[in-house]
Amino acid sequence: DAKTTQPPSMDCAEGRAANLPCNHSTISGNEYVYWYRQIHSQGPQYIIHGLKNNETNEMASLIITEDRKSSTLILPHATLRDTAVYYCIVRSGGSSNTGKLIFGQGTTLQVKP
Amino acid sequence: KAGVTQTPRYLIKTRGQQVTLSCSPISGHRSVSWYQQTPGQGLQFLFEYFSETQRNKGNFPGRFSGRQFSNSRSEMNVSTLELGDSALYLCASSRDGGPGANVLTFGAGSRLTVL
């Protein structure tokens, strides 16, 4: 699975959009980009995933560049409850590795009032 | 629907003892994975079970083992506990519908303290 690079920390004002970048320059054609987050001392929570196209759900939007070498997770209106560590993970779509995620250090997002 | 349930939530053991942690996946999910989280090493994959068989294994010593039952519930065991085994142990389940994207749902974790 491709390696990802994320900034260690970011701040965001409450109510503003939070844009979290992720570089995955070695991503291959069948690898998906996943985003999870972990609020302090809880289990990680799935946010969104994508392969090629931009994706949106009730939590966030995922923008993937055309060359797929980087992506951005967008939380449109950040709240204090969005303060968490955000993990960008790249993994192939094969079923043999369903449960195996390689977590990096992630980005600690601090939403401030 | 009910989420992933892990028991116990907290436990304290002493060095040399063993511990068994339990995980009940979401109904219909056949894949169960285990992770260890420590402040120094972050989140690390332990192993994954699917249809009662270990499908993947991380880089952990043989003291760490697991199993999965026919109802997909899983247990993990750590024998001869060491101080460094103090961690949050997380279980995750997935439907595993075949090739393509597969989303993991994590439990709240079992926090183990080894004294």
A108 pLDDT higher than 70: yes
Q: Does A46 touch chain B (CB under 8 A)?
A: yes
How many whole angstroms separate alpha carbon B82 and alpha carbon B80? 7
Q: Are residues A100 and B45, on separate chains, in Cβ contact within 8 Å?
A: yes
- The per-residue pLDDT for range A46-80, each reduced to its tens digit, is 999 999 989 999 999 999 999 999 999 999 999 99
Residue numbers in A near B58 (CB within 8 A): 100
Nearest CA in chain B to A48: B103
Please tell me the predicted confidence (pLDDT) of residue A25. Answer: 92
Residue numbers in B near A34 (CB within 8 A): 101, 103
How many whole angstroms separate alpha carbon B51 and alpha carbon B63? 22
- The per-residue pLDDT for range A1-44, each reduced to its tens digit, is 678 999 999 999 999 999 999 999 999 888 899 999 999 889 99
Mean pLDDT of chain B: 93
Q: Are residues B101 and A99, on separate chains, in Cβ contact within 8 Å?
A: no
SS3 call for A27: coil
